Amino acid sequence: MASDSFTIKTPCSSANIGPGFDVIGLALSMYLELQVTIDTSEATSDQPLNCRITYEGEGEDSGDISLDPAVNLITRVALYVLRCHDQRSFPVETHVHIKNPIPLGRGLGSSGAAVVAGVLLGKECGRLDHLTPERLFDFCLMIERHPDNVGAALFGGFVGTYLKPLTPEDVARTEIPLSEVLPPAGGVDTGMKPPNPPHGIGHHIKFPWAAEIKAVAIIPEFEVPTAKARAVLPSHYPRPDVTFNLQRITLLPAALGQSPPDPELIYLAMQDKLHQPYRQTLIPGLTEIVESMTPVTQPGLLGVCLSGAGPTILALATSNFDEIANNIIARFKKQNIVCNWKLLEPAEGTQVIRAQQ
């Protein structure tokens, strides 16, 4: 075969949905796409690591996304997968065109999507057909260490994710610093083989989703890096707050799967005391927004939460999407924050699409 071309399509995601911190993920209908061409008719390549990257989409004008395959998150993740399988670089001559509409650092899983797409890129470029979706999840978890976003982006739909106990040796392997897992950004290839992931790090379960429920994402124009939004969280919690979240997480999957949806139950099930209250320090207006709108005051609304680590707000609703979005936008405006919004639906997981021959 002289050439191979395929597209990797990965959805964005909204993690937590209120109480499900680091557990619940929802894949949504905005997609990162990698259009990949491997031209094997070339004998050699003058591209670094045999890979040329082009990019369009979020962050394109600011130059936030590197086109160097040794720096770009997607290609570094693919190289991690390749190097675990004794392939040091991409096949000659690989072109990856990245189309990315997912806003960066807004809580819609842009990095989770990049990691999942990167793992699939490594699999396809390395012809690693033996890697099952469950094994690909292990690779994702060596990089993005909370399973909610990557679980949703890989498997699709509304998912609960969880980690099973590993042996102490395997736990140590999952805790190896990221700098030793991913190839050093822009660094020289030392020829070292990176750590293979232990088997069965993470698992998922799919929950039903009532077809009437849509997701309104209100996206502020400023970024909150996920690492920063995790750093403001405490290491210990008051027991009543933990109990509060446990009670709500028990309700959430049942409430969102039930048709017709019960607004009062969903509103209750989306409350959180483990991460949103702490993140208000980074997101002006967050508490007021989450507390001020209810299904009683706002027809069509089911519940409001922070999307992932924020600053995006996710409102689940069955109707009046414009009005709900504009109400939240007006509340952010009082804090001098400008937003746009999107109406999204649950999405399928990552697909690799090849044109019919």
Ligand X SMILES: N[C@@H](CCOP(=O)(O)O)C(=O)O
Residues in touch with ligand X (CB under 6 A): 15-16, 21-22, 107-109, 111-112, 146, 148-149, 226, 229-230, 275, 308-309
State which of residues 27, 28, 53, 74 lies at the interface with ligand ADP (CB under 6 A). 74
State which of residues 16, 50, 110, 327 lies at the interface with ligand ADP (CB under 6 A). 110
Q: Which is nearer to ligand X, 84 or 115 (CB)?
A: 115
Q: What is Dmax (Cα atoms) for the chain?
A: 67
Name which of ligand ADP, ligand X, none residue 104 binds, using a CB cut-off of 5 to 8 Å depending on partner kind: ligand ADP
Q: Which is nearer to ligand X, 125 or 201 (CB)?
A: 201
* Near ligand ADP in 211-230, by CB under 6 A: 225-226
Q: How much of the chain is helix, strand and coil, in % rounded to 5? A: 35, 25, 45
Q: Which is nearer to ligand X, 100 or 111 (CB)?
A: 111
φ, ψ (nearest 5 deg) of residue 113:
-65, -40
Q: Please, what sign has the CA dihedral across residues 82, 85, 88, 91?
A: negative
Name which of ligand X, ligand ADP, none residue 32 binds, using a CB cut-off of 5 to 8 Å depending on partner kind: ligand ADP
Q: Which is nearer to ligand X, 89 or 149 (CB)?
A: 149
Q: Please, what sign has the CA dihedral across residues 180, 184, 187, 188?
A: positive
Three-class SS state of 251: helix
Q: Where are the alpha helices (DSSP H) in the chain?
A: 73-84, 110-125, 133-143, 147-155, 168-174, 178-181, 226-231, 239-257, 263-269, 276-279, 286-292, 321-333
Indicate whether 350 belongs to the interface with ligand ADP (CB under 6 A): no
State which of residues 114, 153, 286, 324 lies at the interface with ligand ADP (CB under 6 A). 114
Q: Which is nearer to ligand X, 289 or 309 (CB)?
A: 309
Name which of ligand X, ligand ADP, none residue 122 binds, using a CB cut-off of 5 to 8 Å depending on partner kind: none
The residue range among 86-94, 96-104, 187-195, 204-212 that interacts with ligand ADP, by the rule CB under 6 A, is 96-104
Name every residue whose Cβ is closer than 8 Å to that of residue 270 and which is 6 or more positions away in sequence.
Answer: 17, 18, 19, 248, 252, 302, 303, 304, 305, 316
Tokens of 136: 């690909």
Indicate whether 249 belongs to the interface with ligand ADP (CB under 6 A): no
Indicate whether 32 belongs to the interface with ligand ADP (CB under 6 A): yes
* Near ligand ADP in 308-337, by CB under 6 A: 308-309
Best CA proximity match to 274, nearest among 301, 293, 292, 247: 247
User: Residue 69 and residue 229: Cα distance in Å, rounded?
Assistant: 28
Q: Which residue is nearest to ligand X (CB)?
A: 308
Best CA proximity match to 251, nearest among 240, 238, 261, 239: 261
In the complex, the residues that contact ligand ADP under the rule CB under 6 A are 32, 64-65, 72-74, 98, 100, 104-112, 114, 225-226, 308-309
